[in-house]
């Protein structure tokens, strides 16, 4: 079966070819995200995680190799790709429901239909009673949930999650990891999760890709063969979870030492 996302021998360099300032951010990366799969990418700072996201979102292409969505090379922004960033980027002058409708508006969906979809998404994240509130009236965790609703409202097939919980306190993070995991599993979406948090990578994903320091190359990739992908809290209590986290820690330690 064609994967939802495939990076095939991807290298990306910046700067003039042959110039001393040329930097290779990632080298010969190959990995896939299958349909309905959540794949976490972890690696040391500067290993090229943002570069990967920028290529998958069509901001720029690889220097060598190919980035494919549904087997088709990405050559610009694709409507089936949704994003969730560390900062919620909600528009402060719009109500919660108007924020959720934003992506639908830019796609010229009629107003009544936009409202219907936005209400369904707010219900899904259990914030329907805040539809007419403004972002400043919500907690950081609630704002991130609204941002997820906005992402899902456009019915994406692939969701890119860029450190979506890193700005939150530890307790809010746990609650959100749980609610995101349930929502993403229920929707059967394919997801690429970029994270610095090794525990998060293990408790939320089906598979983990480990990158080395710059230039980022794949140093390990493994399936997380544990139950409860839709419930990170339950997964975090399993003894085997700690084995996986330790494996990641050891791999990254070696990778950093070699960089």
Nearer to ligand ATP, 25 or 210 (CB): 25
Nearer to ligand ATP, 142 or 248 (CB): 248
Least distance from ligand ATP to the Cβ atom of residue 38, Å: 19
CA separation for the pair 79, 58 (Å, rounded): 11
Residue appearing with tokens 């229920």: 186
Nearer to ligand ATP, 45 or 171 (CB): 45
| Tokens, residue 227 | 């139950």
Nearer to ligand ATP, 38 or 194 (CB): 194
Least distance from ligand ATP to the Cβ atom of residue 211, Å: 8
Q: Contacts for 137-144 with beta carbons within 8 Å, 24 or more apart?
A: 138/96, 139/172, 140/88, 140/167, 140/168, 140/169, 140/172, 141/168, 141/172, 141/175, 141/176, 143/88, 143/90, 144/84, 144/88, 144/168, 144/176
Residue ranges binding ligand ATP (CB under 6 A): 14, 23, 25, 45-51, 214
Least distance from ligand ATP to the Cβ atom of residue 46, Å: 5
Least distance from ligand ATP to the Cβ atom of residue 212, Å: 11
Nearer to ligand ATP, 103 or 213 (CB): 213
Query: Residue 195: CB partners within 8 Å, gap ≥ 6?
Result: 40, 41, 42, 161, 163, 166, 201
Nearer to ligand ATP, 124 or 214 (CB): 214
Least distance from ligand ATP to the Cβ atom of residue 258, Å: 16
Report the 10 Å Cβ neighbour count for 212. Answer: 24
Nearer to ligand ATP, 214 or 235 (CB): 214
Least distance from ligand ATP to the Cβ atom of residue 48, Å: 4
Least distance from ligand ATP to the Cβ atom of residue 62, Å: 13
- Angstrom distances, CA of residue 57 to CA of 33, 46, 69, 83, 113: 14, 19, 10, 9, 26
Query: Residue 52: CB partners within 8 Å, gap ≥ 6?
Result: 7, 10, 26, 29, 41, 192, 194, 216
């Amino acid at each position: 079966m064609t994967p939802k996302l495939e990076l095939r021998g991807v290298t990306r360099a910046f700067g003039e070819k042959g110039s001393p300032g040329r930097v290779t951010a990632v080298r010969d990366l190959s990995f896939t995200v299958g349909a309905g799969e959540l794949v976490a990418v972890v690696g040391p700072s500067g290993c090229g995680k943002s570069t990967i996201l920028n290529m998958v979102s069509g901001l720029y292409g690889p220097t060598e190799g190919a980035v494919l969505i549904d087997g088709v090379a990405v050559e610009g922004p694709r409507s089936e790709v949704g994003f969730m960033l560390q900062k919620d980027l909600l528009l402060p002058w719009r109500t919660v429901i108007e924020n959720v409708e934003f992506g639908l508006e830019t796609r010229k969906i009629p107003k009544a239909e936009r409202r219907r979809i936005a209400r369904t998404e707010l219900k899904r994240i259990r914030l329907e009673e805040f539809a007419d509130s403004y972002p400043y009236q919500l907690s950081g965790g609630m704002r991130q949930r609204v941002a997820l609703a906005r992402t899902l409202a456009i019915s994406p097939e692939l969701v890119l999650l860029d450190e979506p919980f890193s700005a939150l306190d530890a307790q809010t993070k746990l609650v959100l990891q749980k609610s995101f995991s349930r929502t993403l599993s229920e929707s059967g979406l394919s997801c690429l999760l970029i994270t610095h948090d090794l525990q998060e990578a293990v408790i939320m994903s089906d598979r983990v890709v480990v990158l080395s320091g710059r230039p980022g190359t794949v140093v390990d990739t493994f399936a997380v063969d544990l139950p409860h992908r839709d419930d990170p809290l339950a997964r975090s209590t399993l003894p085997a979870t700690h084995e996986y986290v330790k494996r990641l820690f050891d791999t990254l330690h070696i990778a950093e030492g070699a960089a």
